[in-house]
């Protein structure tokens, strides 16, 4: 975490000859250290503090502490070891930004919710290495007789396969008492709670942020009332924190104090609101003893929209789970609860004959086992040159793409005979190609075959427990998904070729069993091998891909939260790779891309590239191209 800028520092008069005063100083936060110089260009530091040893609080004073007389708000930094104390002042908006940067830096190299689980991570490795050693010992015991011709190879092979299948079956079918099962985290949730990446990656806490836009912001009292009136706090995962207990990650209940989960901010214009959103969605949850979800109300007192950011740790559940959860929070325009949606069911088109299916199983299994070993995406200006190291730099910016009317997208979809996902992925590939060509990317000049792949989260069927409230609160939130590697056709010259290629790729994946096999390997084998091996495998996989692409369907009609109608929704996720999120709401498709703006320079130009690609796609299928005079296409 790094930040630089000018702040006013409180300078006490040690001799008592003149009154205390505030003076401008140039401050730098680098890692977990804050230092300052008298002037920006000075060579030497005048002072520094190690923030991991400090307490950081907001304070209010009636004194005039800044030249523009807006700074009646300051930050107090107290070193618990030396007793040294600094008071730093900025305007309210800048002060919030600096305060959050200081809190983040005080957590060390990685966010506190990840760092605090180091001990649990080491214990997890101990248990998994113990199980893995037993597995290897038995396997070696069965294979050794081959060396001495004691048993036939066929017989030992059958014993080994039987042992492996038996181990996997025991992991999958073993009976866990219901009260234990409700508390225990499944494999994906446990990995997210522990930290899915090695600590050297400095990965951010996995948080899903849903930004709800309003014409008028709800009051903090109305939001609290809505939360208290819903069953949100009845879900075991929403009132618990993850803890490593007796060799397993489990949910440990905590008291939910609503004041800890709702905060209010005030801005004076829409640019200030957008800047604050860019800052807040990347923050970690500061207190590991408080259930990790919150609602941040940003009230715009000037012209433009206000918003609420609903934030929740990904270990609590996936996007499909949270869509179901919002049914208890949102209401329709008449104030009635939303109907419970049918259980999510994935669709797979299987047009293969028996021999093709057998080949598909073997080829898919081989692809899953080797995805972390072979093949890298092409180096283009859109990708981080240091991507193979996969270290999170903290430089992230959300780029909001033009919203698309769902009926307009359906018109192109019907003309192209494809799915909405095919259309959006093909347009994204075309926008990336246009951006690279406009940036004079040499990779597009050499004529080489370009490789660009997205990791696509695939959600699996789950029960919505519509008729059982108790079971819904115990098991309704879960992480039941896996990544699928999907090529994106950035090398194709025209929108028509990109659409045909993307459609063909996605159809092949839908007809294959690779998604189901990936989930099986993830749940069964992933839970058996050591955690350090699983984390390194994930690093190898993600470093070989270029982005993450997720698509979730939201409410089809306008809804209210906090007594006000939601006008638009966006989902923001800070990830180690560029993250593309798609959310449909009230007949509109909302898209954004969270990327490193120090890698993708002039990232706003990507919006123009996306508009041009949508226009070419419409013309290709004889659809009238739309103008971009408003937020909705």
Quick: pLDDT tens for 567-592: 999 999 999 999 999 999 999 999 99
Q: What is the strand order of the sheet 293-300 is part of?
A: 262-267, 293-300, 306-313, 207-214, 564-572, 560-561
Q: Residue 186's pLDDT band (boundaries 50, 70, 90)?
A: confident
Residue 405 has pLDDT above 90, yes or no: yes
Is there a contact between 398 and 572 (Cβ–Cβ < 8 Å)?
yes
Q: What is the pLDDT of residues 119-128, one digit of tens each?
A: 455 445 545 5
pLDDT at residue 613 in the model: 94
What is the mean pLDDT of the segment spanning 426-442? Answer: 93
Residue 263 has a pLDDT of 94
Among 527, 520, 532, residue whose Cα is nearest residue 458: 520
Residue 169 pLDDT more than 60?
Answer: no
pLDDT, tens only, 1-33:
567 888 888 887 655 555 557 888 888 888 788
- The lowest-confidence range among 164-173, 198-207, 223-232, 399-408 is 164-173
Q: How much is the pTM? A: 0.75
- Which pLDDT value is given to residue 194? 85
- Helices 420-438 and 406-416: crossing angle in degrees, nearest 10, is 90
Pairing mode, strands 47-50 and 33-37:
antiparallel
Per-residue pLDDT tens digits for 190-220: 889 888 888 888 888 899 999 999 999 999 9
pLDDT band at 456 (very low <50, low <70, confident <90, very high): very high
Distance of CA 495 to the CA centre of its chain: 29
Residue 540's pLDDT is 92
Specify the pLDDT at position 112. Answer: 38
Instruction: Give 408's strand partners.
Output: none
The torsion angles phi and psi of 297, rounded to 5 degrees, stand at -90, 120
Mean pLDDT over 64-92 rounds to: 70
Q: What is the DSSP letter of 9?
A: E
Cα–Cα dist 132/135, whole Å: 5
pLDDT band at 297 (very low <50, low <70, confident <90, very high): very high
Flag whether pLDDT at 508 surpasses 50: yes
- The answer to whether residues 371 and 455 touch, using CB atoms and an 8 Å cutoff, is no
Q: How far is CA 239 from CA 148, 253, 310, 330, 437, in A?
A: 59, 6, 16, 20, 50
Question: What is the rounded CA–CA span in Å between residue 483 and residue 457?
Answer: 5
- Angle, in degrees to the nearest 10, between helices 187-194 and 118-147: 130
What's the confidence (pLDDT) of residue 71?
Answer: 47
Closest among 431, 409, 439, 433 to 421, alpha carbons compared:
409
Using the predicted structure, report yes or no on whether residue 600 has a pLDDT greater than 50.
yes
The per-residue pLDDT for range 210-255, each reduced to its tens digit, is 999 999 999 999 999 999 888 898 899 999 999 887 777 889 888 8
CB atoms within 10 A of CB 388: 13
Of 262, 263, 261, 242, which Cα lies nearest the Cα of 253?
A: 242
User: What is the rounded distance in angstroms from the CA atom of residue 592 to the CA atom of residue 610?
Assistant: 11
Q: What percentage of the chain exceeds 90 in pLDDT?
A: 36
Start-to-end CA span in the chain (Å): 37
The pLDDT > 70 percentage for the chain reads 79
Q: What is the pLDDT of residue 363?
A: 86
Q: How confident is the model at residue 630 (pLDDT cuts 50, 70, 90)?
A: very low
Contacts of 280 (CB under 8 A, 6+ apart): 100, 265, 296, 298, 309
Q: Which of 459, 445, 443 is nearest to 546 (CA)?
A: 443
In this prediction, residue 345 carries a pLDDT of: 47
- Could you say which DSSP state residue 294 is in? E
Which range (111-115, 337-341, 438-442) has the least confidence?
111-115
Average pLDDT over residues 610-623: 93
DSSP state string for 459-525: E------TT-HHHHHHHSS---EEEEEEE--TT-SSHHHHHHHHHHHHHHHHHSSHHHHHHHIIIII
- Closest CA relative to residue 85, chosen from 96, 93, 77, 75: 77
Q: Cα dihedral sign for 54, 55, 56, 61? A: negative
Burial status of residue 490 (CB atoms within 10 A of its CB: 0-12, 13-18, 19 or more): buried
Q: Which residue has the tokens 């972390």?
A: 372
| The two structure tokens encoding residue 402 | 């033009």
Return mean pLDDT, the chain.
Answer: 81
Rounded Cα distance between 291 and 315, Å, is 11
Q: In whole angstroms, how far apart are CA 364 and each of 367, 518, 524, 528?
A: 5, 9, 17, 21
CA–CA separation, 423 and 409 (whole Å)? 8
Euclidean distance between CA atoms 578 and 397, whole angstroms = 10
Beta-bridge partner residues of 300: 267
Answer yes or no: are the C-beta atoms of 191 and 242 closer than 8 Å.
Answer: no
Higher pLDDT, 527 or 267: 267
Q: Is the per-residue pLDDT at 338 higher than 50?
A: yes
Residue 488: pLDDT over 90: yes
What confidence score (pLDDT) does residue 134 get?
57
Q: Which two tokens stand for residue 150?
A: 């004691």
Q: How confident is the model at residue 617 (pLDDT cuts 50, 70, 90)?
A: very high
Q: Which long-range contacts (CB under 8 A, 24 or more apart) does 560-563 make?
A: 560/330, 560/331, 560/332, 560/333, 560/335, 561/212, 561/218, 561/223, 561/226, 561/308, 561/329, 561/330, 561/331, 562/218, 562/219, 562/222, 562/223, 562/226, 562/297, 562/308, 563/218, 563/219, 563/222, 563/226
- 195 or 496: which leads in pLDDT: 496
Indicate the length of the chain as a whole number. 633
DSSP element (H, E) containing 173: helix 153-173
């Amino acid at each position: 975490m790094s930040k630089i800028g000018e702040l006013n520092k409180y300078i006490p008069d040690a001799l008592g000859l003149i009154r205390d005063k505030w003076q401008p100083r140039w401050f730098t936060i680098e890692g977990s250290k804050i230092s300052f110089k008298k002037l920006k260009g000075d060579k030497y530091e005048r002072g520094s503090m190690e923030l991991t040893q400090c307490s950081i609080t907001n304070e209010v004073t009636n004194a005039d502490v800044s030249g523009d007389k807006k700074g009646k708000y300051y930050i107090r930094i107290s070193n618990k070891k030396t007793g040294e104390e600094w008071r730093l002042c900025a305007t309210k908006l800048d002060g919030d930004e600096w305060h959050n940067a200081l809190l983040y830096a005080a957590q060390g190299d990685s966010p506190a919710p990840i760092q605090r689980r180091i001990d649990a991570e080491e214990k997890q490795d101990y248990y998994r290495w113990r199980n893995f050693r037993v597995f290897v010992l038995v396997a070696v015991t069965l294979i050794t007789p081959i060396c001495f011709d004691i048993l036939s190879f066929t017989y030992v092979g059958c014993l080994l396969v039987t042992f492996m299948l038996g181990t996997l079956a025991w992991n999958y079918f073993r009976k866990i008492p219901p009260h234990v099962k409700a508390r225990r985290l499944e494999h994906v949730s446990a990995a997210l709670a522990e930290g899915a990446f090695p600590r050297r990656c400095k990965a951010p806490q996995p948080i899903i942020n849903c930004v709800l836009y309003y014409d008028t912001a709800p009051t903090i009292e109305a939001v609290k009332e809505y939360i208290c009136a819903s069953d949100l706090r009845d879900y075991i995962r929403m009132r618990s924190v993850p803890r490593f207990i007796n060799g397993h990650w489990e949910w440990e209940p905590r008291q939910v104090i609503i004041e800890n989960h709702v905060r209010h901010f005030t801005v004076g214009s829409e640019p200030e609101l957008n800047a604050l959103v860019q800052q807040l969605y990347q923050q970690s949850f500061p207190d590991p003893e408080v259930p990790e979800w919150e609602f941040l109300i940003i009230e715009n007192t000037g012209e433009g929209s206000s918003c609420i950011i609903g934030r929740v740790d990904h270990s609590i559940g996936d996007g499909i789970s949270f869509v179901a959860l919002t049914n208890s929070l949102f209401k329709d325009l008449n104030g009635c609860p939303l109907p419970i949606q049918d259980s999510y069911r994935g669709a797979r088109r299987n047009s293969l004959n028996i021999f093709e299916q057998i080949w598909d199983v073997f080829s898919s299994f081989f692809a899953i086992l080797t995805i972390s070993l072979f093949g890298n995406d092409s180096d283009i200006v859109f990708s981080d040159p240091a991507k193979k190291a996969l270290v999170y730099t903290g430089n992230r910016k959300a780029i909001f793409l033009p919203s698309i009317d769902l009926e307009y997208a359906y018109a192109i979809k019907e003309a192209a005979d494809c799915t909405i996902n095919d259309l959006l992925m093909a347009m994204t590939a075309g926008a990336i190609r246009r951006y690279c060509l406009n940036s004079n990317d040499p990779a597009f000049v050499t004529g080489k075959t370009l490789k660009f792949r997205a990791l696509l989260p695939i959600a699996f069927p789950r029960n919505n427990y519509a008729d059982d409230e108790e079971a819904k609160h115990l098991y309704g939130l879960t992480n039941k998904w896996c990544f699928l590697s999907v090529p994106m056709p950035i090398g194709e010259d025209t929108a028509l070729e990109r659409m045909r290629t993307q459609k063909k790729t996605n159809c092949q994946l839908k007809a294959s069993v690779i998604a189901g096999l990936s989930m099986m390997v993830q749940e069964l084998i992933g839970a058996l091998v050591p955690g350090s091996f699983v984390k390194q495998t994930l690093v190898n996989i993600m470093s070989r891909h270029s982005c993450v692409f997720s698509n979730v369907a939201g409410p089809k009609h306008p809804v209210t939260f906090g007594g006000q109608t939601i006008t638009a929704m966006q989902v923001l996720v800070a990830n180690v790779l560029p993250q593309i999120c798609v959310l449909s709401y009230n007949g509109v498709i909302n898209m954004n891309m969270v990327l490193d703006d120090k890698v993708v320079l002039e990232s706003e130009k990507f919006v123009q590239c996306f508009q041009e690609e949508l226009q070419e796609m419409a013309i290709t299928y004889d659809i009238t191209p739309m103008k971009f005079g408003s937020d909705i296409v």
